[in-house]
């Protein structure tokens, strides 16, 4: 995988004077069946999140409110993506190191995941992630 495999995906947007609506179906708008949903909220100013890569899990990140940056790293190249709207999201395939910063106050990051939570799916040390890339994992 490389950072260019992380795609910004537009979601359906039903505009309505009563308020807009966006919906997401697994295997349709996101390229995987959704096994888990979690969200980051009440993030204090200046906080960083992420700092890991996942072995098998695909994730799809949406700024439900406010904005933040995702820094993607495939071991060779880095790319910074700013998420700020709730009608598109960022697909992060496995084996991409990701960090998050620049959270605006009141921001909420929704994450759709292809796997249930498993600590054994994580690389939490960058050196271990790099070593796995070198070994062709």
Positions annotated as catalytic residues are 52
Written as one string, the DSSP assignment of the chain is --GGGSEEEE---B--TT--B----BTTTBSS---EEEEE-SPPTT--EEEEEESS--EEEEEEES-EEEEEE-SS-EEEEEE--TTEEEEE-SS-EEEEE-PPTT-EEEEEESS---GGGEE-SHHHHHHHHHTT-
Q: Which of 11, 24, 50, 69 is close enough to bind ligand TYD by CB under 6 A?
A: 50
> Given the rule CB under 6 A, which of 5-13, 48-56, 79-87, 89-97 is the region that contacts ligand TYD?
48-56
Q: Interface with ligand TYD includes 38 (CB under 6 A)?
A: yes
Beta-sheet pairing, 7-10 with 59-65 = unpaired
Count CB neighbours of 75 within 10 A: 19
Q: Interface with ligand TYD includes 49 (CB under 6 A)?
A: yes
Q: Interface with ligand TYD includes 55 (CB under 6 A)?
A: no
Nearest-approach distance from CB 51 to ligand TYD, in angstroms: 6
Nearest-approach distance from CB 84 to ligand TYD, in angstroms: 19
Nearest-approach distance from CB 10 to ligand TYD, in angstroms: 24
Q: Which of 14, 41, 117, 125 is close enough to bind ligand TYD by CB under 6 A?
A: 117
Nearest-approach distance from CB 61 to ligand TYD, in angstroms: 10
Note the residues at the interface with ligand TYD (CB under 6 A): 36, 38, 49-52, 117
């Amino acid at each position: 995988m490389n950072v260019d495999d992380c795609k910004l995906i537009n979601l359906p947007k039903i505009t309505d004077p009563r308020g807009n609506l966006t919906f997401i179906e697994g295997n349709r708008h996101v390229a995987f069946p959704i096994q888990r949903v979690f969200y980051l909220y009440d993030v204090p100013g200046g906080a960083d999140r992420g700092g890991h890569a996942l072995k098998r899990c695909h994730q799809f990140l949406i700024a439900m409110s406010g904005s933040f940056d995702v820094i993607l790293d495939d071991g060779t190249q880095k790319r910074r993506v700013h998420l700020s709207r709730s009608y598109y999201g960022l697909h992060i395939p496995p084996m991409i190191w990701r960090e998050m910063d620049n959270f605006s106050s009141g921001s909420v990051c929704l994450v759709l995941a292809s796997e249930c939570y498993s600590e054994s799916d994580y690389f939490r040390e960058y050196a271990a992630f790099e070593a796995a890339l070198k070994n062709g994992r």
